[in-house]
Chain A
Amino acid sequence: MQVIEAGRSQRPGYLPSGELLLLGLCSVAALYLFRISSVQYAVGMWAECLLLLAAPVALLFWVAPRLTEKGVGNGSGAILWLQLGAAASGVLVLVVQLVMLQFGSRDAYEIISLLMMCHVGWYCVVFSKFGSFERVALVVSSALVLFVCFMTNRFDVYAVSLLFAITVLWRLLGAYWDRINNKSLDGESRMLPVNGVAIVSTLLLAGSAGSLVWMFAPSGEIYRGSGFSFFAGGESGFEDEFARSGIGDGNMLTGGANATTAGAVDTDNFIEDDKPSIYDTMSEKFEGPLVKKKRLNRAIALEARAKHMHQVIQSEQAGKSFRTTRMKAKETELSLEERRTNALFFVEGHAPIRFGVDCFQHFDGETWTKTEVEPKQLNVPPIRVVQRWGKPFYSLQRVRKSYLSSRQAHRVKIMRIDTRVLPATPFLSAWHIHRVEVENMFDWNGYGLVQMSGDFIPAHTVIDLVSDVPNYHVLESADTKYSKTADPESLFLQMPDNDTRPCVEAIVSRIVEGIEPGWNQIDAIVNHFRENYVHDVTLVDDGQSDDSVRAFLDNGGGPSYLFATAATQFLRSAGYRTRLASGYVVTADDYDRQAQQSIVTYNNAHFWPEVSLDGSLWIPLEPDPAFAIPSGTQTWWQWASGKFGEGLLLVKRNPVRSAVALLSLVMLTLFRKELLVGIFGLGWRVGVNMLPGSRLKLTRKLIDARFRTAGLARPSFASIRDWFSQVDATAGADFFSLWWKDNFGPANSPRASAREVYLACQQIESQLSFDRIKSFVLNNENRKLL
């Protein structure tokens, strides 16, 4: 262990350097600013931060003087203890989380992992004058800051990261300056130390702490921390306003370019085809191959029920209302004719996405009723035909909102959706139908939806939809604060005046307590449903009570329309303009990889609440945990995790091939060095026999490659004899003689025979085998660690 002397100053030698402290603090600040998006009690978070920062500092002042007095240059025992301390600082984070859990608060697992990494890094910063902690601190801090930068779009995190980057640059320049001043060539290995004991101890400590968390955590509840992983509950706060919904699927697709995309986008697979697709005449469920359709978390479990619901919506008579009560009808066996699958429309573009076709405003406790609203109250923008990329587009001339950060495009082909309402993606801003540019072709209906003139949109109509993508982080910020006092008599704030209302109001006030009015309250209410109620299509209100919301709350869950109904009431109770939207939700499961498009059938029918902050734009919400939260602008992480998900799906569909590939990959990773050496050896054998004139050179290259593969690459200034003789001082004497004579001897000196050269090469090849070099390297490293 080395303790750097303080030099001329009176500063103790064990204190970390100022620049490293700054780097450490920057990385901590970046992480905590990143974390603040998902933390409810910021004061508590900063208190926890201070505690965790102070702990290693206190330990330093207690331990370091004692170590210095005892002469810390002796042995690695002290270093081992300090490494255990680093592990303990990570475990301390878990302990703090355990304490927080008792107060009902906790971070997502991935945030906890980052916190552990952050505080181990900080510990290494504090103890940077000991052992190799400085290098570890630099690596950990840099990794953390880089990761956080990828995951966020917060300006303050970027500012801190910039400071970090400048400091690192300054440090690198300093190191480079030292190097060109010839001060840093101390000949020491720059590799990170690996201490098996420390790693095992860390794992044991982390395991123990994890067990404690498991033992003391309240049982029976699933914590859905708001993290960033694809399996975490929340996705808020990590959106990148400049990211796209897919790769090149937006404007390029709309512009007619032959775009490729990560989502379900293809070129003219179905656009040119006016015949019904295979899904219209035959599905794999009934008459096709007997492949069981994957029905993960499907909201509408039964096709018949879904069909029934939409028949209710679409019928002229029931089109004005929607009952939330259902009879528990006995499932009847449907005839083959009735089982005919109906593709309503096809979709190209990023999934998940929802298409709204209807909405309801008034609720009496049992039935939703559509109520026409005055055009002035609707506050809808005018529809104009504009030319974009040489094509006519119907465009909504609305003022752009700050939270609409990017755009995405979808293309739908209408098959048999019997409605004149345009299936609209959220935040629809423009749409295009080939060769259609009549001004009054589209208009707003009385419910605030775009509709086409005529009875219904003709089958095989292809519509390009361009919509804005919200950035939920902007919504969370202070810019979009919502004033609850606006328009208290609005139709969209109407609630049935029944017994449930006080109960709803009480729950809502408890949920929004301490949260500033605005998107964060809405988010809290939606999360309340997602976290506390279960999706269950059998928990329908059978009409026993006249209050569906009460039934839903009592049952602890239900199908999506009850989720939507209850959430609407909750939001209205909190003072937010809300309506019940119905339509179709397209998930990744609906994507047909073969056809490269998503097929929308009655099974995709779905209900969701929509909230409006300004009375004109409706933001879709998803209180049903069985459905994904409406996606906002993607971060790189979301894009990457999406890709990861696709990969998992691929693996699931090809288990044998994946297992073989994985096994090969593992073997390749484990035995990569042996494989490389084997290839080198094979190349050498071929070369030595085929090219007798290059035997010496080939052998030198082979041994060099072995050293390089074993992690002991020969620097250019070292001669082969110096380097190779480290392993065995007597090895290859004949080879060296021949090599020197060949390369440096007099030109007229007699040449060695080919046989002599061959034998010398074979001798050194066998004497300096890869295993021997590797064991030498390992022994050497072990000696250094000791």
Chain B
Amino acid sequence: MIQDVTQKCQKSIARLREQLNASLVGKQDVTEMVIACLFAKGHLLLDDLPGLGKTTLAKALAAAVGGSFARVQCTPDLLPTDITGFNIFNQKEQTFEFRQGPVFSSLLLTDEINRATPRTQSALFEAMAERQVTIDNTTMKLAPTFMVIATQNPVESHGAYPLPEAQLDRFAIKLSIGYPESSDEVAMLGHFVGDKFEKRQIEQVLTSEELSSIQEQVANVEVNEAVRKYLVDLGAVTRSHQSIELGLSPRGLITWQRVAQAWALLQNRLFVIPDDIQAVALPVLKLRIGTNSERSEEIVREIVQSIAVPNETNQ
């Protein structure tokens, strides 16, 4: 195996995997994708039923990568300032003081994001896209490793506000955790006998600096022209596909490439291969093709199957 990635970085990644897998039993594929999203500086949308470990995963990730963690439980009466923060008049000082909202953290968990009003949802636009917030004409930078993990419950549609396309496009990937295998559930129940599991401390395995360094390394992962062409062809298919109303935007393509770069790094490679593009296609495209989840998997498969893998065919 090619040893291109630094040993230190790989060790940290291995420990991060270990931590997340210990928190979310039997969901290695999900945790791998979450790590890829983190390294790609993307935001994550978890779309699944209650009780499947969305919050547990987010908290474990926050603890493992260090930095501050904030959580917002979205409700219809949640205001934008409840997320971004606000200026308050200090009567004693006779000045306005800024009270930071939960967005000023390294990792923001917005639980049931689709229950917040569109106005509140849109408060996250700037933060997610540009990692900064502007309040009263004052722009404030957020943490460089700022990441939003939003969850939404697909079954409860009453009193919910579906996320607009513009907001969805700001997330990198959409994941569903799904029910664990029965053997994993048996193991999980074993962990909850006694209070050992609840009391356990998740160890921080990455510092913010290390995370930034890895994110920088991800950005430098090589993407060959043939692979880029392959990616563009796939994007073009989404735009002409009959079942997709709105095809992939250029921003979506960039995100797809970045997540594939992160995925390549996780596979201990410093260049992207078509397999990486295919591996991350479903979580990246699920967000952007605007159909229900059962159909979206089928459509993504059709999209991937419509373009020949570059350099590996006889044409």
Is A219's beta carbon under 8 Å from chain B? no
Q: Contact partner of A744 among B1, B273, B314, B315, CB < 8 A?
A: B273
Contacts of B243 in A (CB 8 A): 182
Least distance between A186 CB and chain B CB atoms (Å): 9
Least distance between B163 CB and chain A CB atoms (Å): 26
| B295-315 interface code vs A (CB 8 A; 1 in, 0 out) | 000110110111111111111
Least distance between B144 CB and chain A CB atoms (Å): 26
| A734-746 interface code vs B (CB 8 A; 1 in, 0 out) | 0001001101111
Is B140's beta carbon under 8 Å from chain A? no
Contact B305 A746 (CB under 8 A): no
In the complex, A721→B274 CA distance in Å?
Answer: 10
Is A335's beta carbon under 8 Å from chain B? no
Of B241, B271, B298, B312, the most chain A CB neighbours within 10 A belong to B312
Known pairs A181-B242, A733-B1, A744-B226; A719 contacts B312 (CB<8 A): yes
Contact B271 A185 (CB under 8 A): no
Least distance between B7 CB and chain A CB atoms (Å): 18
**Which of chain A's residues has its CB closest to B227's CB?**
A744
Contacts of A718 in B (CB 8 A): 309
Is B259's beta carbon under 8 Å from chain A? no
**Which of chain B's residues has its CB closest to A741's CB?**
B2
In the complex, A786→B275 CA distance in Å?
Answer: 32
Contacts of B309 in A (CB 8 A): 716-720
In the complex, A718→B313 CA distance in Å?
Answer: 9
Q: Contact partner of A182 among B2, B226, B242, B273, CB < 8 A?
A: B242
Q: Contact partner of B302 among A182, A704, A716, A749, CB < 8 A?
A: A182
Q: Contact partner of B1 among A715, A737, A746, CB < 8 A?
A: A737
Is A455's beta carbon under 8 Å from chain B? no
Least distance between B113 CB and chain A CB atoms (Å): 31
Contact B271 A717 (CB under 8 A): no
Is B272's beta carbon under 8 Å from chain A? yes
Is B210's beta carbon under 8 Å from chain A? no
Least distance between A761 CB and chain B CB atoms (Å): 16
Contact B224 A745 (CB under 8 A): yes
Is B269's beta carbon under 8 Å from chain A? yes
Contacts of B227 in A (CB 8 A): 744
Is B222's beta carbon under 8 Å from chain A? yes
45-102 of chain A: CB within 8 A of chain B: none
Is A701's beta carbon under 8 Å from chain B? yes
Least distance between B311 CB and chain A CB atoms (Å): 4
In the complex, A717→B301 CA distance in Å?
Answer: 10
Contact B313 A746 (CB under 8 A): no
Contact B299 A717 (CB under 8 A): no
**Which of chain B's residues has its CB closest to A734's CB?**
B1
Known pairs A182-B242, A719-B275, A722-B275; A743 contacts B302 (CB<8 A): no
Known pairs A743-B311, A744-B272, A745-B271; A717 contacts B224 (CB<8 A): no
691-727 of chain A: CB within 8 A of chain B: 700-701, 704, 715-722
Contact A746 B311 (CB under 8 A): no
Is B147's beta carbon under 8 Å from chain A? no
Contact B271 A740 (CB under 8 A): yes
In the complex, A182→B299 CA distance in Å?
Answer: 8
In the complex, A39→B312 CA distance in Å?
Answer: 60
Known pairs A182-B299, A701-B314, A744-B273; A717 contacts B226 (CB<8 A): no
| A385-404 interface code vs B (CB 8 A; 1 in, 0 out) | 00000000000000000000
In the complex, A746→B264 CA distance in Å?
Answer: 13
Is B270's beta carbon under 8 Å from chain A? yes
Contacts of B311 in A (CB 8 A): 743-744
Contacts of B299 in A (CB 8 A): 182
| B87-115 interface code vs A (CB 8 A; 1 in, 0 out) | 00000000000000000000000000000
Least distance between B182 CB and chain A CB atoms (Å): 21
Contact A743 B312 (CB under 8 A): yes
**Which of chain A's residues has its CB closest to B221's CB?**
A746
Q: Contact partner of B271 among A715, A720, A744, CB < 8 A?
A: A744
Of A700, A720, A721, A744, the most chain B CB neighbours within 10 A belong to A744
Known pairs A182-B299, A701-B314, A721-B275; A745 contacts B305 (CB<8 A): no
In the complex, A741→B271 CA distance in Å?
Answer: 8
Contacts of B122 in A (CB 8 A): none
Contacts of B315 in A (CB 8 A): 716
Q: Contact partner of B312 among A182, A720, A746, CB < 8 A?
A: A720
Q: Contact partner of A719 among B2, B224, B273, B301, CB < 8 A?
A: B273
In the complex, A549→B309 CA distance in Å?
Answer: 84
255-269 of chain B: CB within 8 A of chain A: 269
Contact A740 B269 (CB under 8 A): yes
In the complex, A439→B309 CA distance in Å?
Answer: 80
Contacts of A704 in B (CB 8 A): 314
In the complex, A544→B55 CA distance in Å?
Answer: 118
In the complex, A716→B309 CA distance in Å?
Answer: 6
Known pairs A740-B273, A745-B224, A746-B271; A717 contacts B308 (CB<8 A): yes
Least distance between A496 CB and chain B CB atoms (Å): 83
In the complex, A82→B126 CA distance in Å?
Answer: 64
Is B278's beta carbon under 8 Å from chain A? yes
Contact A717 B273 (CB under 8 A): no
Contact A746 B314 (CB under 8 A): no
Contact B242 A185 (CB under 8 A): no
In the complex, A722→B309 CA distance in Å?
Answer: 11
In the complex, A719→B279 CA distance in Å?
Answer: 11
**Which of chain A's residues has its CB closest to B1's CB?**
A737
Contacts of A182 in B (CB 8 A): 241-243, 298-299, 302
Contact B304 A746 (CB under 8 A): no
Of B301, B307, B311, the most chain A CB neighbours within 10 A belong to B311
Q: Contact partner of B308 among A716, A740, A746, CB < 8 A?
A: A716
In the complex, A524→B96 CA distance in Å?
Answer: 118
In the complex, A720→B311 CA distance in Å?
Answer: 10
In the complex, A725→B269 CA distance in Å?
Answer: 19
In the complex, A180→B313 CA distance in Å?
Answer: 24
In the complex, A720→B273 CA distance in Å?
Answer: 11
**Which of chain B's residues has its CB closest to A186's CB?**
B298
In the complex, A744→B273 CA distance in Å?
Answer: 6
110-158 of chain B: CB within 8 A of chain A: none
In the complex, A185→B272 CA distance in Å?
Answer: 28
Least distance between A81 CB and chain B CB atoms (Å): 33
Contacts of B308 in A (CB 8 A): 716-717
Contacts of A722 in B (CB 8 A): 275, 278
Least distance between B203 CB and chain A CB atoms (Å): 32
In the complex, A704→B314 CA distance in Å?
Answer: 10
Contact A717 B2 (CB under 8 A): no
Contacts of A716 in B (CB 8 A): 308-309, 313, 315
Contacts of A719 in B (CB 8 A): 273-275, 278, 309, 312
In the complex, A526→B196 CA distance in Å?
Answer: 102
Contact A745 B222 (CB under 8 A): yes
Q: Contact partner of A185 among B273, B301, B310, B312, CB < 8 A?
A: B301
Least distance between A449 CB and chain B CB atoms (Å): 71
| A227-271 interface code vs B (CB 8 A; 1 in, 0 out) | 000000000000000000000000000000000000000000000
Contacts of B313 in A (CB 8 A): 716
**Which of chain A's residues has its CB closest to B276's CB?**
A744
Q: List 27 A-B contacts (CB under 8 A).
A: A182-B242, A182-B298, A182-B299, A185-B305, A187-B301, A717-B304, A717-B305, A717-B309, A719-B274, A719-B312, A720-B309, A720-B312, A721-B275, A722-B278, A733-B1, A740-B273, A741-B2, A743-B224, A743-B226, A743-B310, A743-B312, A744-B224, A744-B227, A744-B273, A744-B274, A745-B222, A746-B222
A182-B302, A722-B278 given; 17 more Cβ-contact pairs under 8 Å: A182-B243, A182-B299, A185-B298, A185-B301, A185-B305, A187-B301, A701-B314, A715-B305, A717-B309, A719-B312, A720-B312, A733-B1, A740-B273, A744-B271, A745-B224, A746-B270, A746-B271
Q: Which 3 residue pairs across A and B have the least CB separation, nearest first?
A: A716-B308, A743-B311, A746-B222
